[in-house]
Amino acid sequence: MTGTAAKGHRTVSRITGILETVARTGGARTHELARQLQAPKSSVFGLVKGLVAEGYLTEDGGVHRLGPALGCLLPPALPDVAEAARPALEALRDRFAETAMVATAVGDSLSYLAAAESPQLIRYSAPLRTRRPLYPPSAGKVLLAHRAEHARDAYLEAALPHVRERERARADLVRVRAEGVAFNRGETLPDVHAAARPVLVDGQLRAAVAVAGPTGRIAPHLDTVADALREAVADVAARLRG
């Protein structure tokens, strides 16, 4: 139905959780998957066997790995966002000596696809291909701000329990959409600040690029970082167009 917000489904969540865990770890046993998903081993066992039967997983000595059927899900010619973003991420890291990341939305979660980490001893380290909340990370704000209004509001309704929190977040996201830049000034972690911009290809949102670092180091330069991100996302978009 048009305008209806998506809702989670336990079986779907478990299946995607199995695939994501196996992808992240390189291989996992059934009991490890059950522990990771906090689900009964008997339920996970049945789902795993079904995924093996369909070719989405393989099994060798009790260890499950990603199967060949996953190659059927994406066209081979689809540009790789992480690969396209790599030069821009490295340029941002070299300029500011802070961590630069490219992220996308995975359902109602944020996932960092690639990062060029700061060379400094104390730095922000991005957890790659791990689900995180869309709000309030700066990259998540960008991704959320570009959603349809009903989908954005449904997410905020579920994620933020208090009306005033939702009102502030909604106003923040409207500004992000209008200005094309999002900031996170210690909202996720008090000692981390970040800025992010959207990667738009022919008007379609493909990803978000962000730079994050310790508050004392990056906060005074956050506007300069935001300006540099404008050129960075343009470079990523151009590479995605081919």
73-112 pLDDT per residue, tens: 766 545 689 999 999 999 999 999 999 999 998 888 898 9
Q: Determine the topology of domain 81-241 in CATH.
A: Beta-Lactamase (3.30.450)
Residue the block writes with tokens 């300006």: 227
DSSP class per residue in 183-197: EEESSSSTTEEEEEE
Residue 223 CB burial class (10 angstroms; 0-12, 13-18, ≥19): exposed
Closest CA to 128 of 108, 104, 95, 96: 104
Q: What is the pLDDT of residues 187-216, one digit of tens each?
A: 999 999 999 999 999 999 999 999 999 999
Please provide the CATH number assigned to the domain covering 10-72.
Answer: 1.10.10.10
Q: What is the pLDDT of residues 134-191, one digit of tens each?
A: 999 999 999 999 998 988 999 999 999 999 999 999 999 999 999 999 999 999 999 9
Q: What is the pLDDT of residues 2-29, one digit of tens each?
A: 456 667 789 999 999 999 999 999 999 9
Going from N- to C-terminal start, the domains of the chain cover 10-72, 81-241
| Nearest-angstrom CA–CA distance, 210 and 182 | 9
